[in-house]
Structure formats: C-alpha cells, structure tokens
Amino acid sequence: MKILLVYPEFPDTFWSFKHALRFVRKKAGAPPLGLLTVAAMLPSEWEKRLVDLNVTGLTHEDLTWADYVFISAMAIQQDSVRTVIAACKEAGVKIVAGGPLFTMEYEQYPDVDHLVLNEAELTLPLFLADLADGRAQPIYATSEYPDISQTPAPLWELVDLKHYDSVSIQFSRGCPYNCEFCNVTALLGHRPRLKTAAQIIAELDSLYALGWRKGVFFVDDNFIGNKRQLKSTVLPALIEWRKGKVGMPFNTEASINLSDDPDLMQLMTEAGFTTVFVGIETPNEDSLIECSKTQNKGRDLVESVKRLQRAGLQVQGGFIVGFDSDTPSIFQQQIDFIQKSGVVTAMVGLLQAPTGTRLYERLQQEGRIANDFSGDNVNGSTNIIPKMNLDTLREGYHEILAHVYAPQFYYERVITFLREYKRPQVKSPIDLQSLLAFWRSIYQLGIRGVERVHYWKLFLWTLFRRPRLFPLAITLAIYGFHFRRVAELHVG
C-alpha cells in the first residue's frame, strides 16, 4: 500500500511567521506532528511519503503514485483543504481525512471517502482493520479518549528538517479548565492525559541524534494541567537529559496560574523552557467572568506576566476583543495592558465561536451565529453577531493592531520586556543561518526599514544594557517585521 500524507497550507497570519522565516531561509515553522504520528501508526511495510504544502507543492505525480491520500488539518487550513480534495478527486485517488477540522465539521466535506475522526489512537485501528477486510466505512468516530502513553513516536524520517525553524512534540492532551470559547475540551476532554517521561526523552533523543538543535514546541493545550506529574517525573527527567547538551530551547502553552508557582517555574527554566504562550484574553474582569476564564480572574495580570518574565519565561499572549461585556473602551485597555506588560508577541483577535464549544451552543440558541467558523481571527472576521456594533468592533480591533505593531510602540515593548527577562539557561550555538539573519536584519530593518531608528535604539540599548540577550533582541525585531506585514495586510 502506498500512502501519501498531505498537510494543507496555512494562510498568512501572525502564527505563520512567514515573513520572519525568510530571514533564516526556512520554509515553514514546524513539520506536521499529527500526520507524522499517524504515519507511525500505519503498517510498517506500507510505503509512506509526506507532502507539506507549506514547504513544497502537490504534483500530479504525487497523486498518481498514491493508493490513498491522508489529510489532517485545522480550521484555518480549510481553503487549502478544499483545493487538495479537488485535486485528489480529479486524480481519482481515495481520501482519508482526520484532525480537528474534520472532527468538528465533517459534514462539510462529502467528497472525503473515509473520515477517521477524534483521536487516531482509537479510530485509525478500526479503519485499518476494515480496510484489510475490504469493508472500510465512511466514518469512524468515538467518544472515548485514548491512553497516549501508548502513542508511537513521530516518523521524523519522512521530513527534511532543514526546511523548518522548529519542531513539535506532545506531552499531554486535554485541559482542566472550561473556557467558553475554547474547543480543546470538546475535542480532547478535561482530564489531562500524559505520555511518560521515557517517551518524551526518547523523542528528544531521536531529534538530537538527527542533529536538531533549534527550538522544540511542546504543543500541549496546557502544559501544567497535571503539576504533580510535571514536578515529580517529567521536568526532573528533562533536567537530567539536558546535561551536557546544547541548543533545543523549549516553549509551550500554559495557564497564567503558572506564575503562582515559583518552584514549577524554576524547574521549567532548568529543563530548558524559555517561552510560554498564555491565554490572557482580556484585562476586562467582566469579560473573564462571562467566558469562564476562572484562572485569570481576581489577579493582577500585569504582575503575573512580569513574574513569568523575571523567572526566565518569555510570555507570548493571546488576546480577544468582542465579548458581550466589552465596551468601546476595551480597545485602549488592551493597548495599555500589552504595552505595560511587555508582551512582545501579542496575538489579538476577534472573538469567534468554534463548533462544539459552549459559546457556539449559547449563541446558536440566541440566534447569533452568523456564518461558518474560519479559524482565522487575524483578518477581522468573526462567525458571531457581537453585542457591540460590528463596524465599531472591527475598527477598534484594527486600531489595536495598528498601535501595538507600529515600530515605536513595538520596540518600546521589546525593551520593557528585556528589562524584566531573566537570561535563559539554555546554551544555543550560533550557526551560519543565525549570523546571516543578523546581517539581513541590519540591511532590511536597520537600513531600508521604516523602523530603522527604533531598530538601532534597541540594538545599542541591548548591546550595552543586556548584551547576553542581544540575539533575542534581534530575533524579536525580526518578529516585529513579520507582525507589521501581517497587520498591514489586514488593516491597510
């Protein structure tokens, strides 16, 4: 059997880092962890190829080679998904599809031959058994959650890692919280399910043996969902593993209450974590109550962010506008919070209601679902009818983007962050691409760019005040170039 695994293309968004990747001559952020893991679950004797459309194109020869095309995708990839499905149908090759997009909205893809939904550890074996018996069904689904301590390691050999700037691995699935707008619990449940420390170390060993030294993203929905296991087994194992090694800084996603646990923050930084993405959402307490963001309520969010930064964890923040409790004053509140907290990578989007969430169900009952969920909250689109006037909401949203990614305010925020940030313990080698990216930044940002005055101010400030953070300062300057490009695309 010949299996072609196809990963659809991402549009140009904040998270694509498309414009930043050009500085380091990389084609995509990270290889598709889900498809590589699925590949490891297929019979070893089957031939397998991967086509990541963020790296290369899909050819007619690819499709005619394959007996089946496997597709996995998120909602934001749906335009590319439809193009891939059309190409498969034209080539006459059968399609097997799964992942979050298909699990939540499978009815919208009638041309898919076999939908293998929910988590593949449970549904893929059923499909494979039926396929072997010649009676494969159109849909495989389950309401159960698998034990991921039995999940195989990804087949990294299917990808050329030189095209990527980072790789992803996973320690846990599920989140103990119940934010109204989030579809994580609808997909993966409330009880975090964990891999063993031995699994994680084995995956890291395989990457290190392949020569990988760049970043590793733990794609857990909430890395600290089970603090006891983290503190007792996983983080100590990572600390031991890191001894004598260079590179491979870790980043992940965590809830803001990480800032309440100095011991856990210390263990994470010793293990090599340098960055956490935190769903801050809003400084409006009424909106936090409205969306059941219990872990964010009743706290000084700015101080919580700064505690993480002072511990050695850069905070990337998710922010949302458009809650029912928001008034037009929220736009300036968000700007003030982002600037004061020094959250350099501030991902701001309009509230959307993914299918299967409590928010979707509530707004559907209220007759306030306007259209399909796009998964792209950068372009000013939303699938809900907000209480605030939609034009006012979009105008205010664009005002936030125009402000926080304007060179003056962006570079001010970088310096605010660098004043607080404790230098990471990870020793990262300086490779040729990093040096070339540095010189490209001087030319693109320091000579040609509209931000050149701010670039040189940051350059000199860091060189004299925080010289050990100089590479990070240049990296953040390059990120700013990407964020401005994306903001300009949507704001004009």
pLDDT at 119 over 80: yes
Residue range 184-216, pLDDT digits in tens: 988 999 899 999 999 999 999 999 999 999 999
Residue range 243-264, pLDDT digits in tens: 989 999 999 999 999 999 999 9
Q: What is the pLDDT of residue 492?
A: 57
Q: Are residues 481 and 381 in the same domain?
A: no
The residue whose two tokens read 């790789």 is 167
The answer to whether position 256 is within a domain reads yes
pLDDT at 281 over 80: yes
Q: What is the pLDDT of residue 408?
A: 97
H/E stretch holding 2 reads strand 2-7
Q: Are residues 72 and 169 in the same domain?
A: no
CB atoms within 10 A of CB 390: 16
The answer to whether position 425 is within a domain reads no
pLDDT band at 365 (very low <50, low <70, confident <90, very high): very high
Q: Are residues 226 and 290 in the same domain?
A: yes
CATH of the domain at 95: 3.40.50.280
340 burial via Cβ count (<10 Å: 0-12, 13-18, 19+): middle
Q: What is the pLDDT of residue 413?
A: 98
Q: What is the pLDDT of residue 395?
A: 95
Q: Are residues 347 and 449 in the same domain?
A: no
Q: Are residues 410 and 441 in the same domain?
A: no
The answer to whether position 101 is within a domain reads yes
The order of strands in the sheet holding 94-98 is: 47-52, 2-7, 68-72, 94-98, 114-116, 139-140
Percentage helix, strand, coil for the chain under 3-state DSSP, each rounded to 5: 50, 15, 35
The answer to whether position 156 is within a domain reads no
Q: Are residues 412 and 473 in the same domain?
A: no
Q: Are residues 77 and 125 in the same domain?
A: yes
The answer to whether position 157 is within a domain reads no
Higher-pLDDT residue of 376 and 234 is 234
Could you say which of 363, 393, 420 is where a domain stops? 420
Task: Tell me the HSE value of 150 on the side-chain side, using a 13 A CA sphere.
Answer: 8
pLDDT band at 18 (very low <50, low <70, confident <90, very high): very high
Q: What is the pLDDT of residue 377?
A: 63
Q: Are residues 175 and 265 in the same domain?
A: yes
The answer to whether position 152 is within a domain reads no
Q: What is the pLDDT of residue 433?
A: 86
* Domains identified in the chain, total number: 3
Q: What is the pLDDT of residue 71?
A: 98
The answer to whether position 427 is within a domain reads no
The backbone torsions φ and ψ at residue 419, rounded to the nearest 5 degrees and listed phi first, read -65, -35
Q: Are residues 246 and 315 in the same domain?
A: yes
Q: Which domain holds residue 459?
A: 432-491
Q: Are residues 237 and 357 in the same domain?
A: yes
Residue range 415-469, pLDDT digits in tens: 999 999 998 888 877 788 889 999 999 999 999 999 999 999 999 999 999 999 9
Could you say which of 74, 106, 140 is where a domain stops? 140
Kindly report the pTM of this predicted structure: 0.95
The answer to whether position 134 is within a domain reads yes
Residue range 36-78, pLDDT digits in tens: 999 999 999 999 999 999 999 999 999 999 999 999 999 999 9
122-146: burial string, b at 16+ Cβ within 10 Å, e else: bbbeebbeeeeeeebeeebeeeebb
Coil, helix or strand at residue 285: helix
The residue whose two tokens read 């935190």 is 278
CATH of the domain at 392: 3.20.20.70
Q: Are residues 305 and 370 in the same domain?
A: yes
Q: Are residues 438 and 406 in the same domain?
A: no
Q: Which range (4-8, 99-103, 181-185) has the least confidence?
A: 181-185
pLDDT above 70 coverage of the chain, percent: 99
Could you say which of 359, 389, 420 is where a domain stops? 420
Are the beta carbons of 313 and 265 closer than 8 angstroms? yes
